[in-house]
Chain A
Amino acid sequence: MIYLDNAATSWPKPPGVVEAMVRFMNEVGANPGRAGHRLAVEAGRIVYGAREAVAELFNAPDPLRVVLGQNVTEALNLALRGLLRPGDHVVTSSMEHNAVMRPLRALEKQGIELTVVACSPEGFLQPRDVERALRRNTKMVVLNHASNVVGTLLPIREAGQIARAHGALFLVDTAQSAGAYPIDMQEDAIDLLAFTGHKSLYGPMGSGGLIVGERVNAQELEPIKRGGTGSRSEWEEQPLFLPDRCESGTPNVPALAGLQAGVRWVLERGVARIRAHEVLLTQRLIEGLLRIPGVVVYGSRDAALQMATVSFNIAGMEPSEAGLRLDDEYEIMCRVGLHCAPAAHRTIGTFPRGTIRFGLGAFNTPAEVEAALEAVRALAQEAQ
């Protein structure tokens, strides 16, 4: 079996991730921050360890501004719904996932103004187009770091500097890049970094978060849920300080134990080494696909300009059929369709048909890429 659906979730996980989750369940098990006994404190240490690991990876100055949650969608909702008010203007790109687009479209109905900057058919965004879109009331620029459809990297550092110079906040959706591409909150001028734990951070599903930079006034960040935090129990109002302000309810500690182990694995292996491995495989995949008659490859077609996610189509075969046959006949797992990103598919010209998407990860090998290319070659030949 060949797993090429790492853009949806990474699999397998590195050694230590499952063990950390099992250790919590078997040896700790208590509720962090809800008591002062040793098991509750140990559970708190596990959660805090996840904050520290994430802060180290992204060069975030304060681990207490790492708000942990279920996934990147929750983190994006918190940043968008928590900070934007009627009358605010927001700039985003035409390559966004629905995790950004749907909250923004809903907020648009509530009175925020939205500008969607058009990207090229390869998924490239020109920083000058972001600059042109800014208005006097622009509160935020929101971009994904890399497309979940074609992997194309967006120029976040340039966009971040433009937003900062204009006095706007910069929110980055790092779902497709965190852990597999260097990200530095300070160098990249990121004010709000939304991440998921279960992709290139190699943690389990049910883990993710939002890192709130120091340009964001925590008291202006409205939580999307309120409730018990284990702190300020005498108050019936939500705490004003982070992370408690935005972390009500018992957290998913087993997942956060796994997240910490996954991020520690990334830090030990090194983001640069992971990136180099994925670039090598991605280039091999792109070049191989381009040599197959009847195959159209979307995106940059240059591994240096994208993440390890490659979208393509086979002439004469619908993506859904290709996905089924890759699974049934070749035991290759991939994702087909619109990938929850209709705007991106409109941009690259594949809406509503969609594409076949291969998402590579740190554990894929050149032999697996060759086997996948052989399978696509056979399907393309048959379809012609």
Chain B
Amino acid sequence: MSTHYTVLLVQSTNHALRCENILHKAGIACKLIPVPRYLSSDCGVCVCIATQDKRATLAALEAARLAPEAVCDL
């Protein structure tokens, strides 16, 4: 079965880097990628995770009081 991916849109690259740090500490794999044009016109990066980790990811971010602006399944 192929992996499905989800991206988290956040306010800025600074926020994406904070997400990356929080997820790294929580043991959740993620990758920072350029924001897909069809999701936003922003020139920064967003956080890409495996869709199966979405719930754990959102819980870890909520614990750090960091809410994504949007969560999009690719």
Contacts and interface: CB of A to CB of B under 8 A. Distances in A.
A33 interface: yes
B43 A34 contact: yes
B52 interface: no
Contacts of B15: 64
Interface string B11-22: 111111110110
B45 A63 contact: no
B33 to A, nearest CB: 6
Contacts of A234: 41-42
B44 A33 contact: yes
Interface string B27-68: 000001111000001111100000000000000000001000
B72 to A, nearest CB: 16
Nearest to A37: B34
Given A35-B34, A36-B34, A231 B17 contact: no
A48 B12 contact: no
Contacts of A243: 14
Kindly state the interface size class of chain A when it binds its partner. 20 to 34
Given A33-B13, A41-B32, A48-B21, A233 B43 contact: yes
A230 B13 contact: yes
A232 B12 contact: yes
Given A36-B35, A239-B12, A244-B11, A232 B17 contact: no
Contacts, number: 67
A233 B41 contact: yes
A232 B33 CA distance: 16
A219 to B, nearest CB: 13
Nearest to A43: B13
A51 B43 CA distance: 22
Nearest to A38: B32
B58 to A, nearest CB: 18
A231 B42 contact: yes
A137 to B, nearest CB: 32
Contacts of B65: 62
A30 to B, nearest CB: 12
Nearest to B11: A241
A368 interface: no
Interface in A31-51: 32-37, 41, 44-45, 47-48, 51
B6 to A, nearest CB: 17
Contacts of A47: 14, 17
Contact of A230 (B12, B32, B41): B12
Interface string A10-46: 0000000000000000000000111111000100110
B12 A231 contact: yes
Given A36-B44, A41-B45, A52-B21, A231 B32 contact: no
Interface in A221-260: 229-234, 239, 241, 243-244
Contacts of A33: 12-14, 44
Contacts of A239: 11-12
Nearest to B66: A64
Nearest to A232: B42
A215 B14 CA distance: 21
Contact of B32 (A36, A229, A233): A36
Contact of A48 (B18, B33, B34): B18
A36 B11 CA distance: 15
Interface of A: 32-37, 41, 44-45, 47-48, 51-52, 62-64, 229-234, 239, 241, 243-244
9 contacts: A33-B13, A44-B45, A48-B14, A48-B21, A230-B43, A233-B43, A234-B42, A239-B11, A241-B12
6 tightest CB-CB pairs across the interface, nearest first?
A: A36-B34, A231-B12, A33-B13, A48-B17, A233-B43, A36-B45
Given A230-B12, A233-B41, 16 more contacts: A36-B32, A36-B34, A36-B35, A41-B32, A44-B13, A44-B16, A44-B32, A48-B21, A64-B14, A64-B15, A230-B44, A232-B42, A233-B43, A233-B44, A234-B42, A241-B11
Interface of B: 11-18, 20-21, 32-35, 41-45, 65
